[in-house]
Amino acid sequence: MSERRYFGTDGIRGLVGHYPITPEFVMKLGYAAGKVLAAQGTKKVLIGKDTRISGYMFESALEAGFSAAGVDIGLLGPMPTPGIAYLTKTFRAEAGIVISASHNPYYDNGIKFFSQDGQKLSDEIEIAIEAELDKEMGCVDSFSLGKATRIADAAGRYIEFCKSNFSSSHSLSHLKIVVDCANGATYHIAPDVFRELGATVIELASSPNGTNINDGCGATSMDMISKAVVENQADLGIALDGDGDRLMMVDHTGYVIDGDEVVYIIARNEISTDNLRGGVVGTLMSNMGLELALAELGVPFARSKVGDRYVMEMLLEKGWHLGAENSGHIINLNHTSTGDGIVAALNVLTAVCQSGKTLHELRQGMKKLPQILVNVRFTGDSDPLTAEAVLASVDKVNEILKGRGRVLLRKSGTEPLIRVMVEGPELKEVTSLANEIADAVKLAC
């Protein structure tokens, strides 16, 4: 299989105005994708975006490219990534396109695609689109140009879908919930979902201005919501990222509950209701504490490469339905076709209602091992991961841990970073060891 040049683990992403995240490239990408994805069938795609200011520019560029390829476009406006995946299926579109850089700052942006079944594109299709990009952009005749229409009720449709994943026999009327929308695509959706299910909702970061997405808020910045939950004496907090596919939570004490703990809570509740099929998929970054806690429940656990697309691939391969990344991507194929922060939160709230326990009590069954992650920025063509000094440092740490923990080095799929992770029984020890390896990586960059 050919190597992908533009597509990473989560579409094409980069700094706005720098190749390939330019209006010219994105227009040509729309044309190339139109030729590959929608050459037959409905000849219709959906385009949605998060709230960053460049989304309007790239929406217009994609619209022009798809129109030139003879493909009709349904414009969804600001919508969470999983909402676009859902609507792609319900509208029977050939593809859904998301303009978003997820948890990244506003000055980044990206393009990712969903297929007809609401799942991310296969490597083969992404490579076919890249091959089409190498060709000269054309244009169909005027009669065959694609038409664009605004889908005015997109948000309402998705709100009703989210609510359908919470049993009508339960109510959230006894809960006060803080909801942090990261000034992103869920700002006009998430608060309404939980409010319409009965909860008292306190909104945070729900006033996007184009540049404040993920800025000190959301699933990647938990200090604000932790403080708000305690100050407002709320029962729990729900933090989403800029495009709504990640979930982090906070219990009433302000303790942050990450993706590993979220998927553990969901899995244990599904066992109690006889709804868990097979095991749980995590990633190389999943905490060893999750693996140990699931083993106590008799639940198989498997690790995929880092990236929700790889979690999905392993779920489909094994015939399981529940998987997660510790960063908050939760995939539950009993409910959705992709990671969905709002639906994952509703899965947890289902466990709260069915068990009669607080979120704080539900997380007690899993004990995380200290896990330190150090990010080292790199540039150039060198590969620090193959440097002798780095390899020697890793060997030294593995010898020190002697099976008591794990070491993982990997390149980020979305940013120019080397991620150094060390996990073990003692926080002070793993912090020192992670910094030791990170120093070796810095010298090799």
Q: Annotated catalytic sites, by residue?
A: 102
Q: Residues 6 or more apart from 426 whose CB is under 8 A from it? A: 370
Q: Under a CB-based contact definition with an 8 Å cutoff, are residues 207 and 215 in contact?
A: no
Q: Of 423, 442, 419, 441, nearest to 433 (Cα)?
A: 423
Amino acid at 237: G
The span from the CA of 124 to the CA of 319, in Å, is 22
Which pair of structure tokens corresponds to residue 54?
């460049």
Q: Under a CB-based contact definition with an 8 Å cutoff, are residues 214 and 242 in contact?
A: yes
Q: Of 268, 340, 291, nearest to 118 (Cα)?
A: 340
Q: Under a CB-based contact definition with an 8 Å cutoff, are residues 430 and 424 in contact?
A: yes
DSSP character at residue 119: S
Q: What are phi and psi of 220, to 5 degrees?
A: -100, -5
Instruction: Identify the burial level of 266 via C-beta atoms within 10 angstroms of its C-beta, where 0-12 means exposed, 13-18 middle and 19 or more buried.
Output: buried
Q: Element (H or E) spanning 236, and its range? A: strand 236-240
The span from the CA of 436 to the CA of 397, in Å, is 9
Ramachandran category for residue 370: left, alpha or beta (phi over 0 → left; psi -120 to 50 → alpha): beta
Q: Residues 6 or more apart from 119 whose CB is under 8 A from it? A: 85, 312, 337, 338
